[in-house]
Amino acid sequence: MPKVSVVMAVYNGEKYLKKALESILGQTFSDFEFLIVDDASTDQTISILKSYQDPRIKILNNSQNIGLAASLNKALYVCKGEYIARQDADDISLLKRLEQQVAFMEENREVGLLGTSWYSINEQGERLGVNYSSDADLSVHFIAHGTVLLRRSCLIKVGYYREIFRYAQDYDLWLRLGEKFKIRNLRTPLYCLRIHEDSVSQKKEREQALYSCLALKMAEERKVKGKDSLDDLGKAVAARDKIIKLDGKPEKKLLSQQYFIWSQAAFALGENRKAIKWSLRAWKKNFLSYQAIYMLFNVLKRKIKKIILKMFLILRIPGARNYYWNLRAADINDRWGKSQSDYPLLKDIILKARPERLLDVGCGTGRLFPLYEALKVSDIVLGQEISSEAIKLARESYPSLNIEIINKDITALDFPPGYFDLIISNRVLQHIVKAEIESVIRKLTQIGKRIYVNEMQQSDEVLERFYLFKHNYQELFAKFGFSIEKRGFLGSQTWFVFTEEKIETR
């Protein structure tokens, strides 16, 4: 049996189909079947599909057009994989998408559905921007359909796509899955979602929003009654049409409520831009919506606080950094171990170095503690500011870790030569001005044997984005006898492992 069943439905998709197919067939993870449903296309779609001789491809043909939900279900009824991955016919999966998603699901058996962040691309395939998916319960509202990998066993338990949904059938399914299983997201962008004038999201935005209202209304019913109005197939159409016809409510008010719920979710996830976008849409649909106005006020208040904090950090106002770290630690219990986009990479690096002593100079909230505990790293030094609240929580949550906190500049660290088997530096070196970077790297090469560096890019949406310095790491490390053992990319971030040249690579 294949490990993964990749499912695609296509109708008149000749324009972008080859790119979509090849992005799946070229995956680094190859243990999959690729089920493609041609929904009675009238263009060259079927000819393109038949031109591929890969035995993993299985083509299912509809004699007449039955729509996306019914076509996907047709494939789901016959698929054999433990996991099901979605792929849209006009989008592109990045090379390691399946590899990274399967690896995560294998290690997190409680998770039923896994999405990823994604790039928006235009008709020519050029990247327009990146959409980072949050890793929290409310992120169910912002999962891109094509990015998901889900367990077939979980899908069977909640039921397939409900064909009564002409649009937003994925949103309805995510809500049902989220009621019984954990939903997670990888922060690494592993998918390219194409924006073009023929896409459903562009042509049917209003209809999608109305069906999203239906999905949320059904979720509310299930919370109260244990089932919803669409469970009765005999009455489902009438129940759907009653709601889609607004049940006596003006359409604008219904859509305003929908957009407000999305703005609430975005605000809770810390995604201010999305919160503004959806609260503005809610307000435009209903000028009298005090909820939308209140949400806009909250977002603006948060933005002003962040701007003031940035200025205080730049000006080195006393107490500003301590306040910043206390903010970071406020919900640390909920966040530890959840943002795992770089965990597989760092796990491999730590296992290769086999460190007894490790210096972490980049994870101020101690987000790597779960990984350190799992890999049984003996002694850990945190060489960056971290609040007293975070220290207390760390020692309570991870009593097996020997954690030492040193709130000093890197150049002031006082350890013997080669003391640390591994140093992990996440984005810290990017924050250091050019005049000081050489002395910082000199210190790291003196006290460490292997050094992992993750370089922040200018496009990153983080508090410290006013640091825009670029450094020639390879040249600087080489000056002190270190060479690149390995390098790669995590989304838009470049990472390196530098190794002392006299040490044999294990």
pLDDT at residue number 373: 82
Confirm or reject CATH 3.40.50 for domain 251-312, answering yes or no: no
DSSP 3-state of 157:
helix
Q: What are the structure tokens assigned to 104, written together? A: 């995560």
Rounded Cα–Cα distance for residues 167 and 150 (Å): 20
Q: Is the CB of residue 202 less than 8 Å from the CB of residue 127?
A: no
Rounded Cα–Cα distance for residues 173 and 170 (Å): 5
Parse the chain into domains and list their residue ranges.
4-195, 251-312, 332-500
Q: What are the structure tokens assigned to 58, written together? A: 């299985």
Handedness of CA 325, 327, 333, 338 (dihedral sign): negative
Domain 4-195 is in which class?
alpha beta
pLDDT at residue number 472: 75
Rounded Cα–Cα distance for residues 65 and 473 (Å): 56
User: Which has the closest alpha carbon to 131: 322, 28, 271, 264?
Assistant: 271
Q: Which long-range contacts (CB under 8 A, 24 or more apart) does 430-435 make?
A: 430/455, 430/456, 430/467, 430/469, 430/471, 431/456, 431/464, 431/467, 431/469, 432/469, 432/471, 433/469, 434/469, 434/471
Rounded Cα–Cα distance for residues 251 and 30 (Å): 47
Rounded Cα–Cα distance for residues 6 and 23 (Å): 12
CATH architecture, domain defined by 332-500 = 3-Layer(aba) Sandwich (3.40)
Q: Is the CB of residue 69 less than 8 Å from the CB of residue 139?
A: no
User: Which has the closest alpha carbon to 487: 319, 349, 288, 333?
Assistant: 349
Check: pTM over 0.75? Answer yes or no. no
Rounded Cα–Cα distance for residues 109 and 221 (Å): 29
pLDDT per position in the chain (506 positions), as tens? Answer: 899 999 999 999 999 999 999 999 999 999 999 999 999 999 999 999 999 999 999 999 999 999 999 999 999 999 999 999 999 999 999 999 999 999 999 988 899 999 998 988 888 888 887 787 777 777 888 899 999 999 999 999 999 999 988 888 999 999 999 999 999 988 788 999 988 776 655 557 778 888 888 888 888 889 888 888 888 777 888 888 777 765 556 567 777 777 878 787 777 767 777 888 878 888 877 777 777 787 888 888 877 877 887 788 677 787 776 666 555 554 444 455 555 667 788 889 999 889 989 988 866 566 777 788 888 887 888 766 566 666 666 677 777 778 776 767 788 888 999 999 999 887 777 667 777 888 989 999 999 999 998 875 543 333 333 334 456 778 889 999 999 998 887 765 678 899 987 654 43
Task: Give DSSP secondary structure letters for 246-296.
Answer: GGGS-HHHHHHHHHHHHHHHHHHTT-HHHHHHHHHHHHHH-TT-HHHHHHH
